[in-house]
Amino acid sequence: MEKNIREILKGLGENPDREGLLKTPERVAESLKFLTRGYKQDPHEVLNGAIFKEPYDEMVVVKDIEIFSLCEHHLLPFYGSAHVAYIPDGKIVGLSKIPRLVEVFARRLQVQERMTAQIAECLMEALNPRGVGVVIEAYHLCMAMRGVEKQHSLTITSSMLGSFRSTTRVREEFLSLINRRKI
């Protein structure tokens, strides 16, 4: 990877042998490995060991989960917040596992739409709850720094499964809860 990054620097018209760039190929390679570490993580393993039988049957929401990902089209970052909810049907998951699950999918080359659906589908499969809702709000540097150059455009995606899709009241409760002010 480092050899290829060195060639990219040359292609940009830079001298990869100048002092400031000598270690850049190594740093970029390490950075990309870190930013895409989600490929080496199994989302189901992240959840396993933290799924518990519990008769709780009201909505569980974890909101404002920070996300940082890389757009698969331009390899530029996008960042923002994920809001995840589910209605248990006999099983709950440890709360810290929800941000960990989000992180697994965020740390891959992504499009926001797919990531939103992957999080929802994984929770639905692992817990078999009454429903799952995921909303992601993100700023995309591929839109802010290049192309249309719109620095303040926020992209919002949602995935609603089960009762979050079929029952208007459930969807509205979720959206109301994630739009509340912080305490």
Across the chain, what does the average pLDDT equal? 97
- Residue 122's domain spans which residues? 37-178
Q: Is residue 183 part of a domain?
A: no
Residues 66 and 95 in one domain: yes
Residues 57 and 71 in one domain: yes
Over residues 131-177, the pLDDT tens digits come to 999 999 999 999 999 989 988 999 999 999 999 999 999 999 999 99
Q: Is 173 a catalytic residue?
A: no
Q: Is residue 98 part of a domain?
A: yes
What is the b/e burial string over 61-88, where b = at least 16 CB atoms within 10 angstroms of the residue's CB? ebbebebebbbeeeeebbebebbbbbbb
List 66, 73, 151, 172, catalytic entry: 73
Number of domains in the chain: 2
Q: Is 152 a catalytic residue?
A: no
pLDDT (0 to 100) of residue 151 = 87
Q: Is residue 114 part of a domain?
A: yes
* Identity at 169, one-letter amino acid code: R
Phi/psi of residue 68, nearest 5 degrees: -135, 125
Residues 44 and 122 in one domain: yes
Residues 17 and 70 in one domain: no
Residues 47 and 136 in one domain: yes
Which pair of structure tokens corresponds to residue 182? 């912080």
Q: How far apart are CA 26 and CA 34, in angstroms?
A: 12
Q: Is the pLDDT of residue 179 over 80?
A: yes
Residues 85 and 125 in one domain: yes
Q: Is 83 a catalytic residue?
A: no
